[in-house]
Chain A
């Protein structure tokens, strides 16, 4: 596997707390759309922070093992340098917005890293177009809706052209339209720029059409990781992890067990219905 992030024998605990991550061995495939699932408190957010060098180097704590990003260890690196390669959007993306206008927000990292103003302007313009906010450089933050502000945070990440983008529960408070449209945007960026995406998600139904790899975290350890087709059944077998799978895949696994047949890894209810009908199930109602 061509890995963009490699975590080896990684252990971590914050000061004055229990071990949050234990014996993590994880490879994130280049160009993948990897989704991390796991019960609340399993350590998913901490894992995101480990992949971006925040943990342990910025936030402190005790650790063992190593995290490599694009072949280089995160040890001894400034988080701002790593951020040029691995973008991070936290669940509280609102608090990540530091400026008063959209243009300043997107250009912030660029100017801090010494990009000339003209280049910063050009990258800002392209990034805003990419996320569906063209020409909004002069908009004040309070002129943008919540969803638009999230896209703005995404544009700020894109402007530095990172190879990897990590998102921690991006749609937790969104309604279905909002959730679908964000993931459509992420997929577009994934396809157009080849960026590797690592997303922590509870609401996996939104990411169902797009994900390529799954990582399941339980009690601070990696329970399962790999390409979706290869790991779905194993995740299903684990009673604790089963409810975290997209419901469509829970149906698939359950049907496979009940009928002894194997089905494709459906990406939509439509696809599932079509295959089931063509296999002769149901009361023969044609689409």
Chain B
């Protein structure tokens, strides 16, 4: 699905708005479409883990809402909305190169270059940080901290990782910032990247987005 990054951003933003204006059946349909899309693109363990993780997060949100006194129906619909919104971002990230997203944000949405670059940087360093945190967890085990026991205990064991990881992140980001400064990062960085044009498909999708977004205005005409 070769859509321009700009189109994807618009679609993602639109979906997050739609969950609040469309009826529950439509939102559920979007969810199904999203899952189909994600599993079609990449049927890997990481993808399933990501979806699963978001599912768990949604579940927690639903529980919280119930605890605060909302009815079951409202809580479930709230959870559904949340899931569809987050999956929208996941769809965008799964189909589009992060550099293209960053460039579109800078060129068309006038995001300052530093913020846009953070997207690339985050992606660049996440695997490094995962590796580093593994070592800290291993070190903790080797000093006698047992990983046996309930899920809560396992979660608590991750706390020790936070400080070394944050320190390391700070130090790496200083080196990274220096490197970017040395290489002349600035306003020109995204200007000189190859520009991607919008195609017919993009315009078609954008048209669909407009139509769906104006649903409140033309829904009256549906049952005339």
Nearest CB of chain A from residue B41's CB, rounded to whole Å? 17
**Across the interface, do A98 and B192 meet the contact criterion of CB distance under 8 Å?**
no
Q: Which of B162-185 contact A (CB under 8 A)?
A: 172-173, 175-176, 178-185
Alpha-carbon gap, A109 to B186, bound state (A): 11
Alpha-carbon gap, A109 to B188, bound state (A): 10
Alpha-carbon gap, A94 to B121, bound state (A): 12
**A109 with B184: in contact, given A94-B128, A100-B120, A104-B99 (CB under 8 Å)?**
yes
**Across the interface, do B175 and A111 meet the contact criterion of CB distance under 8 Å?**
no
Q: How large is the interface on B (under 10, 10 to 19, 20 to 34, 35 or more residues)?
A: 20 to 34
Partner of A95, one of B123, B179, B183, B194: B179
Residue of A nearest to B187 (CB): A112
Whether, in the assembled complex, B189 has its beta carbon less than 8 Å from a beta carbon of chain A, the answer is: yes
Task: Count CB-based A-B contacts (< 8 Å).
Answer: 75
Residues 87-130 of chain A, each 1 if its beta carbon lies under 8 Å from chain B, else 0? 01010101111111000100011011110010000000000000
Alpha-carbon gap, A54 to B188, bound state (A): 22
**Across the interface, do A54 and B184 meet the contact criterion of CB distance under 8 Å?**
no
**Across the interface, do B181 and A79 meet the contact criterion of CB distance under 8 Å?**
yes
Whether, in the assembled complex, A141 has its beta carbon less than 8 Å from a beta carbon of chain B, the answer is: yes
Residue of A nearest to B173 (CB): A95
Whether, in the assembled complex, A25 has its beta carbon less than 8 Å from a beta carbon of chain B, the answer is: no
Query: Using Cβ atoms and an 8 Å threshold, which residues of chain A touch B35?
Result: none
Residue of B nearest to A90 (CB): B175
Query: Using Cβ atoms and an 8 Å threshold, which residues of chain B touch A117?
Result: 192, 194
Query: Using Cβ atoms and an 8 Å threshold, which residues of chain B touch A52?
Result: 182
Partner of B121, one of A98, A111, A113, A142: A98
Partner of B124, one of A54, A83, A141: A141
**Across the interface, do A100 and B184 meet the contact criterion of CB distance under 8 Å?**
no
Known: A80-B183, A100-B120, A109-B183. 20 other contacts (CB 8 A): A54-B182, A58-B181, A79-B182, A80-B181, A83-B182, A88-B182, A95-B173, A95-B175, A95-B176, A97-B179, A98-B121, A99-B124, A100-B97, A108-B183, A112-B186, A112-B188, A114-B188, A114-B192, A141-B124, A142-B127
A-B contact pairs, 30 of them (CB 8 A): A52-B182, A54-B178, A79-B182, A80-B182, A92-B175, A95-B172, A95-B173, A95-B176, A96-B175, A97-B124, A98-B121, A98-B124, A98-B176, A98-B183, A98-B185, A99-B99, A99-B120, A100-B97, A100-B98, A104-B99, A108-B185, A108-B189, A111-B188, A111-B193, A112-B189, A113-B184, A114-B188, A117-B192, A117-B194, A142-B127
